[in-house]
Amino acid sequence: MKVLVTGASGFLGGAVAREIVRAGHEVRTFQRRPSGVVGVDDALGSLTSRADVARAAQGVDAVVHLAAKVSLAGDPAEFEAVNVEGTRTLLAAMHDAGAGRLVFVSSPSVAHAGASIAGDDAQPADPQHARGEYARTKALAELLALGADSESLRVVAVRPHLVWGPGDTQLVERIVERARAGRLPLLDRGAALIDSTYIDNAASAIAAALERVDEVHGNAYVITNGEPRPVAELLGGICAAAGVAAPAWSIPAGVARAAGSLIEAVWRVKPGVDEPPMTRFLAEQLSTAHWFDQRRTRAELQWQPAVSLDEGLRRLAEHYGTPSR
């Protein structure tokens, strides 16, 4: 197949593009700057440009759509333009180009309303109750994508949960930087049980969804390592791998949620240069359980994670040059 991968300059997008190249497919990538992925044809442009998207989609058989505005804060109009309207533009370009398969890369946050998730399968995307502009617009975009599913355009949605690994400048680097500065608290002592996904596993699951899209189209799947651990243990493992002290102080989750709501209000008026230190969504993510039943995902995608959580932490330590303990 000739496959278009959008967002390949990102951590997960680049890994997915490399995985699909290894599977023997011809890959074109589409993003605003060069992907840096060996063996692909880079098409540079923006999801907000119909001409750019149409040019990128020309002649492809399938699309893996990862490009998105991902942030804890920001202008709602930007999230709408990139995540929702960008998906709408891509779907139109695929129709015009005759591309018949789409893997829409989503997020478990599209079905999260603030309560714990303990052993659930993928629930329907719910933009009305999703927390924050990213989750809300990704929920709208997922519904848009799955709503286009048909025999002529087969669509599957995959939702990787908390993807991390060596080279991650989002989750891992922010954890390490805040821990180093002493600004990484535990909420309710970090007792909430959460799952995450090592980067290689996330990429291989998305590649598996591409291979299986004809059989599983119309469905949504959550992707995880299937090894839930307490927040304190996961954060501690990442910090140890990077050679920094694990968070040693805790605050009540209710206090963090209230503080997050206040910070969000201030950020809307006077945004900072980086992500806000706390939001209500982040407080909920750090203080409620998030682990998922993976049986349907693994059976229907015919996929298994190859890298365990402990092996992933060992590779992360190797990346940072941290001595083995």
The residues carrying an active-site annotation are 134
**4 closest CA partner among 94, 95, 106, 96:** 94
**8 closest CA partner among 243, 232, 17:** 17
Tracing tokens 């092996």 back to the chain, one arrives at 311
- Asked if 74 contacts 17 with a C-beta cutoff of 8 angstroms, the reply is no
- Asked if 126 contacts 240 with a C-beta cutoff of 8 angstroms, the reply is no
Give kind and range of the element (H or E) at residue 237. helix 231-242
Work out the number of other CB atoms within 10 angstroms of the CB of residue 183.
Answer: 11
Tracing tokens 């229907």 back to the chain, one arrives at 300
Strands of 132-286, DSSP E: 154-160, 163-164, 186-187, 193-194, 197-198, 220-223, 229-230, 250-251
AA letter at 294: Q
Write the DSSP symbol of residue 253. Answer: H
Query: Mapping DSSP to helix (H, G, I), strand (E, B) and coil, where does residue 307 land?
Result: coil
Q: Quick one: three-class SS letters along 48-98?
A: CCHHHHHHHHCCCCEEEECCCCCCCCCCHHHHHHHHHHHHHHHHHHHHHHC
- Asked if 244 contacts 176 with a C-beta cutoff of 8 angstroms, the reply is yes
**280 closest CA partner among 140, 99, 130:** 130
Three-point CA angle 174, 178, 180, nearest 5°? 120
